[in-house]
Structure 1
């Protein structure tokens, strides 16, 4: 549910949730920062827009936030590329 928050509200919420052990930065169509809060499975996700200013924020509850999950098609393509890279070098030269 979207809730309008003031800058002070946001800072208070972020302080109360705290920071956990897991942090990730995604560089895809702009930067996004993701961190687990001090509560296991509660994630803070912040997307940035122009001039590196926050464009949107959300809190996700789950094992992993959706933005960190790989798409099946991407994984299939990566598996094919990985198999080619891991071929023994002498097999590639033949």
Structure 2
């Protein structure tokens, strides 16, 4: 799979492939080893946010594209956005917590 990614996305291995190599070395291919990839992000200071719009995990410290983290607080709750359009606080429905 790595060869396919590198062929279609030059530079992929240099940017992301090293992470997968480290995960393999720590046993990620064997579920019984107990390795949890999310813990790797925490141990290596790569915070994970959930994009408010797409609900997709977003790691700004590993992002290769032009996306930027935006965090807005509304009604005491923080909401993260990975797109530049979110420069102003979101308008959210008034839903109970």
Does the alignment reach a TM-score above 0.5? no
Larger radius of gyration: 1
Give the TM-score taking structure 2 as reference length.
0.29
